[in-house]
């Protein structure tokens, strides 16, 4: 049986093709892997040859909180992307309205019983398509997405603006 790992951009960390896989020592992608899904989506958007299986195998070293039970450490986001040649700029939600447009963003929001990472991929000037938040990927501006989060009692605390590595000639 030939199983492909070309899942494209991922919109659900609970997808049965990969959701039950371990993340950290005690977590799973379905329960605690939103940070890994956000990182994968950024890498996949930057390079369409990125496949989930090799990404997952190589990214098992992503630092997690409490052995994976509390997901990805925020300090791992920029560190992992910079290692692969991405330019990363971290900023606060209050700065989002004045932020330049990036190739992608990762937003970390807190809610009553946890936190959640979401990747937005630039789709046109000033608009990002956000994955792993809505039933279907949804395009909107970063300020509109942050407003949506506030309306759902999620509190955005950190944003990483990401520029994809330049293709080598």
Q: Map out the domains of the chain with their CATH numbers.
A: 22-163 (3.90.70.10)
For residues 84 and 165, what is the distance between their CA atoms, to the nearest angstrom?
A: 8
pLDDT at 161 over 90: yes
User: How far apart are the C-alpha atoms of 140 and 123, rounded to whole Å?
Assistant: 9
- Using CA atoms, how far residue 164 sits from 20, 45, 87, in Å, is 29, 9, 7
Under the banding of pLDDT at 50, 70 and 90, the label for residue 168 is: low
Six-digit token string for 131 = 């994955």
pLDDT of residue 118: 96
Query: How far apart, in whole angstroms, are the C-alpha atoms of residue 87 and residue 93?
Result: 19
Is residue 13 predicted with pLDDT exceeding 50? yes
């Amino acid at each position: 049986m030939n199983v492909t790992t070309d899942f494209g951009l991922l919109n659900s960390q609970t997808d049965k093709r990969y959701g039950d896989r371990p993340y950290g020592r005690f977590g799973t992608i379905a329960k605690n892997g939103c940070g890994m899904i956000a990182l994968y989506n950024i890498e996949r958007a930057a390079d369409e040859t990125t496949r989930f299986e090799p990404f997952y195998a190589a990214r098992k070293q992503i630092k997690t909180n409490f052995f994976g039970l509390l997901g990805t450490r925020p300090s791992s986001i920029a560190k992992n992307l910079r290692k692969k040649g991405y330019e990363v700029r971290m900023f606060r939600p209050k700065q989002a309205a004045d932020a330049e447009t990036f190739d992608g963003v990762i937003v970390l929001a807190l809610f009553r019983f946890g936190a959640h990472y979401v990747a937005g991929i630039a789709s046109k000037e000033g608009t990002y398509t956000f994955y792993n938040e809505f039933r279907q990927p949804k395009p909107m501006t970063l300020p509109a997405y942050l407003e949506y989060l506030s309306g759902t009692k999620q509190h955005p605390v950190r944003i990483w603006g990401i520029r994809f590595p330049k293709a080598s000639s």
